[in-house]
Chain A
Amino acid sequence: MSTLLIVALVGALAVVGYVLGVRRAMASADGDLRLLHSLKGYYGQNVALLVLVPSLLVLVIWMTVQPLLIEQSVLGMISNTDVAQGSSRSLMMADVRRVADGLDVAVAQGAMSRDAASDVRVDFTNVRERLASVGVAVGSTVTQSTLEAAQKFRALAATGNMIRGIVVLLIAAAGFGYALKQTDKDFRARNVVERGILVLLIAAASIAVLTTLGIVFSLIFNTIDFFESFPGADFFFGTRWEPSFSGRGGASDLGFLPLIWGTLYISIIALVVAVPLGLFAAIYLSEYASNSVRSIAKPVLEVLAGIPTIVYGLFALLTVGPLLVNIFGADGLLGVNWMSGGTAAMTAGLVMGIMLIPFVSSLSDDIINAVPQAMRDGSYGLGATQSETIRQVILPAALPGIVGAVLLAASRAIGETMIVVLGAGAAASLSLNPLEAMTTVTAKIVSQLTGDGEFNSPETMVAFALGMTLFVITLALNVVALIIVRKYREQYD
């Protein structure tokens, strides 16, 4: 039974339950609204909620757990000898899943009969070509064990889906019956619905949190795979980034240091640009600007935050890069030859700094405005000028919050990709010269995954390790920022 059908049936049952719930409640009160404990709609909602929530919850859990269980049982069928060189168990498993899905698609399109699809002999059924003909590409030739595993996978999934449909519908029907039986003029439907809504809101909040966990887990497993085929010490402490794609042969140097160096260098240039400009803009806007100036300048500044980063990237590539070459390049204004091409750490850093100005300024502006007026009055009352007040009272009071804002900006700078791809170049180098091309972790993740390398090679899998490391770094920055911001918040409450 397909998921869509189950959801549709449960939904229909909920609608029917709503109508019947309302009717039953009205009937129990002899049609007099005033005798009901709650408004009649609540009785209907109570039934609908009891039909929908438990059954759909079970459906979601089932859909998450079933593939895991099936994979566990199928995984046993793949023996170690079948795991091809340079591959891994989880990659084999991906193949199995792909073949199984492909067979389903083939049956659905009528390219294979149900019996042929259940056939387990590779040599006769010629699985790879047949699947290709219905638009499912399988990476390598399908081996006997893969096909057997795929067939087992299909069988288990089909049984699982059938049981799932029955269980979910039974739960929905049970909820339907129970809720209708409860419905009576004295039943406190309003209170029950209130609690139901609370549960729904909690569920919405937890989905956001669980997604974060999901992202972490999806990275973790691939990262572990990578470290099985590539030594961790070489990754974390290697000073050379020279991936060799399978076509050219030879071992790769996948050193993390040049990339994180590029990331930090470019981020620091960006922050050196963004923090003073953003902070001064915030001070002007919150302390000096008249209302009319602020009402125009603030939104205009915040428009900067709405520009897509790829546009900033083009700005770096077409305007800032050539401009810097005109100054620092050969035949440039300074008569030095420090810069050979437009793509450089400096180009990307400057443009990224411009991108970050609105983040710093708008967060700092809020924080400066949150400093109580009493602080300013106290300082002015002692004969301090405006800038003395800002320097000695307002900024120290707002400092923790401003540090938080800067850290948030920093984690954005570290995660930025497009400006780097277009502005900083692609060469990973451990150079101190900001006018030289550099690259960052994010830019390399893109290039490793979009290349034509095999998916199961360390050269590709390194992207997950890079992503995971970056995630940990930005997470740490965000946590520090949050702690600082929270500490600040307690000060004036």
Chain B
Amino acid sequence: MNDMRIVKRDVDMNDIKISAKGVQVYYGDTHAIKDVNVEIKDKTVTAFIGPSGCGKSTFLRCLNRMNDTIDICRVEGSIQIEGEDIYDKRVDPVQLRAKVGMVFQKPNPFPKSIYDNVAYGPRIHGLARTKADLDEIVEKSLRRGAIWNEVKDRLHAPGTGLSGGQQQRLCIARAVATEPEVLLMDEPCSALDPIATAQVEELIDELRENFSVVIVTHSMQQAARVSQKTAFFHLGNLVEYGETGQIFTNPQDPRTESYITGRIG
């Protein structure tokens, strides 16, 4: 069955993965996201850019219903992943989050060993039948996270003892270990130095082979480097969405142009 899915993916490789229609988000009385419509393609890196407080992180967190953990947050409209409405009552947000992985702004490894950090998701979701299975998943994930060579000799050392860049790659490995279909990244490089950033960016590009990646970033250079599609958010509105090259060289909306040239922010 797995094989069939891979074949199917090959066929509709550039199909729509996530489709959001008329999304409104409220924090109490604040209207944080105003009528956002966007279609995110599979096996593509999509970047969300925009000034602070424009709602890009909020919108990102809608895609795996992380906003459910905030009491005062209310989401309206429809978000479909592969044609299935994720805000439908029958959808279990916990299952959804296994399918839509997330990497956070600050590296947040659990205070456990490197191995246990990566094995956390597979253990919860019962992805491994045997210890050998689990070892294999952990190794594969760490390789995908481009950190295997650095940690293979100390898998049982605490994950919190790694450097910031290593921790973030560990978190990415942890997220891919549950075999998600979509990987959400909320400013994954904002706490990293340029070298670690370059490593993570290279990694994002590799991840595109298997996942649909959505990345929120404050760095326009980063968006230009890693993404194929870019969405510009401003004051809760999705102002412009298109090919990255087109957004950065020939923006249609004057607000986009002002932002990328540094006049608003």
Contacts and interface: CB of A to CB of B under 8 A. Distances in A.
Main SS at interface, chain A: helix
Given A374-B106, A377-B104, A378-B171, A384 B112 contact: no
Interface in B70-113: 71, 94-99, 101-104, 106, 108-112
Interface size class of A (residues with CB under 8 A): 20 to 34
Interface string B106-150: 101111100000001100110000000000000000000000000
A491 B159 CA distance: 12
A433 interface: no
Interface stretch (A147-155, A208-216, A389-397): A389-397
Interface in A43-79: none
Nearest to A392: B120
A393 B103 CA distance: 17
A290 B72 CA distance: 11
Contacts of A378: 104, 108-110, 171, 174
Contact of A383 (B95, B106, B171): B95
A396 to B, nearest CB: 7
Contacts of A372: 108
B125 A383 contact: yes
B108 A396 contact: no
A388 interface: yes
Contacts of B174: 378, 382
Contacts of A374: 104, 106, 108
A381 interface: yes
Interface in A23-48: none
Residue of B64, B69, B101, B111 contacting most chain A CB atoms (<10 Å):
B111
B17 to A, nearest CB: 18
Contact of B97 (A290, A383, A393): A383
Nearest to A388: B124
B94 to A, nearest CB: 5
B256 interface: no
Given A290-B71, A374-B106, A397-B110, A381 B94 contact: no
A284 interface: no
B18 interface: no
A374 to B, nearest CB: 4
B36 to A, nearest CB: 21
B33 interface: no
Nearest to B68: A380
B178 interface: yes
A374 B120 CA distance: 15
Given A374-B106, A491-B111, A382 B66 contact: no
B111 A381 contact: no
6 smallest CB-CB distances across A and B, nearest first, come from A383-B98, A381-B102, A374-B108, A383-B97, A382-B121, A378-B108
Interface of B: 64, 66, 69, 71, 94-99, 101-104, 106, 108-112, 120-121, 124-125, 160, 171, 174-175, 178
Interface of A: 290-291, 372, 374-385, 388, 392-393, 396-397, 491
11 contacts: A374-B108, A378-B171, A378-B174, A379-B120, A382-B174, A383-B94, A383-B95, A383-B97, A384-B120, A392-B120, A396-B111
